[in-house]
Structure 1
């Protein structure tokens, strides 16, 4: 008899593009720590459920996959989308549905990412930037649910935008250059410089936390190190570990200025 292949939950659930973990988790962690609320916790469940639903949905749509694998993926996607819907409704019920208005700002970027993802182009630069933008705006929704002043909630989202958007360009350029592929180093460095300038302006005006400038400077140094003439020869897992450490530090610095 042919051997039956077991279906592991992690294979159905966990995204293969490990960089997406930081993009998704950092804004959620910042929102939960800097603007804690029961409604925010429900929103976090909704966001994470949608994030995890992406892979099973893709497997379910893959006609070349084994039928048993597709069925399992379909059930998992159904459970996760149900959890996301429940979390979203609870967030609106506890914090007020009008308080979820910042999600409308993230909607165009989220739709753009889904469009590219459905075309199988989720790793295109435009798709990754759209995904990073959508997630980076989430702290504003957490702040709104926690009844923070609009300026404070906006500052958290602005700081996360300055963290994630240049990072996408820098890490893409570094990894592509390591593989011998065309890499846009110049735009990545310009984005980091621009982010540092904007961080200085936002911190000086009081819109963003004071730590925003320090984080931007740290990320600029990282960009110059990775994309400069003396760039280290790091493997993708090492780059991921570096970004996870930088992201955790950024979240804590922004949440506890």
Structure 2
């Protein structure tokens, strides 16, 4: 592997922190909900492990890309250091969660592992924006809420319901934001898929509430999500600045979390 040098100082922020700001919301929702409804010492350590694993993704992509090119830049060594730092923190924190847990929390994580592997494969092939990669990624990370609930003493079925609710909200958000960005760029794309995702999510949540497996307050939150999708994809709404759209998505994510926890 050849070595390349650059007179410019290495910018550490793009190596140490994710480029996509939306990822913070997809991580924060299951962590916030899990610690809200089932706080535990093991849950704290598991959340720290998840954060460290989440942070590992960006430097790993950079280091892997440089390795594939057969070159070493000044940034390569820093990326590798961050991978070791974050990866080591994730292992230590996960070990602490394992030792302090009074209940087994690993089944949802095992179920989510293939989905995380799909996202990682796309990441390493520079296809992070592929729809399948994003859907697999948010579904995998949403499993964290089920693990936190189990660590806090919840039964398996209610914990999996929490995973389903967070995954539905996150997946619908991915389809909505992707469609909105493409429409704002002037691409010819039909919003039908985003609408359908929200209707399916709403229907499933109504069914869960009817069966007594989810709070009716959550149905109200998913109604708000569907209304947001309908209004947000109208032509007059596409001029909204992207940062403001990000704030709106963070708000609806918090609304979903609060509706589940309070309901």
TM-score category of the 2 structures, normalised to the smaller one: over 0.9
Cα deviation 1:67-123 (Å, max 9, x = unaligned): 321111111110100011111111111115843111112112111111111111110
Query: How far did 1:18 drift?
Result: 1.7
Q: Which residue of 2 aligns with 1:90?
A: 96
Please state how far the C-alpha of 1:31 moved relative to its aligned partner. 1.2
**Contact 1:46–1:83 under 8 Å retained in 2:** yes
Looking at structure 1, the residues matched to 186 and 89 of structure 2 have their Cα atoms a distance apart, in angstroms, of 42
Contact 1:109 1:134 (C-alpha < 8 Å) held by counterparts? yes
> How much does 1:55 deviate?
0.9
Taking a change above 3 Å as real, the CA distance of residues 252 and 77 of structure 1, as seen in their structure-2 partners, is same
Query: Which 10-residue stretch deviates more, 232-241 or 89-98?
Result: 89-98
| Equivalent in the alignment of 1:141 | 147
Bigger mean CA deviation after superposition, 22-31 or 124-133:
22-31
| 2:165 maps to 1:159 | yes
1:114-129 alignment runs, 5 A limit: 114-129=120-135
Distance 1:118 1:210, change over 3 A: same
| TM-score, length-scaled by structure 1 | 0.92
- Aligned residue for 2:222? 216
1:34 aligns with 2:37: yes
Distance 1:68 1:179, change over 3 A: same
Q: 1:46 and 2:78 equivalent?
A: no
Task: Name 2:3's counterpart in structure 1.
Answer: none
* TM-score with structure 2 setting the length: 0.90
Deviation, 1:12, is: 1.6
* CA offset digits 1:119-152 (Å, max 9, x no partner): 1111011111111111122211111111112232
Give ranges in structure 1 of 5+ residues lacking alignment.
none
CA RMSD in angstroms comes to: 2.0
Equivalent position SS for 2:50: helix
In structure 2, the residue matched to 1:55 is 58
Contact in 2 for aligned 1:40/1:146 (Cα 8 Å) = yes
Q: Deviations over 1:37-75 (max 9, x none)?
A: 111111111111011111111222232786321111111
Distance 2:156 2:189 in 1: 38
**Count of paired positions:** 256
**Gaps spanning 5+ residues in structure 2: where?**
1-5
Give yes or no for the alignment of 1:168 onto 2:171: no
Equivalence for 2:26:
23
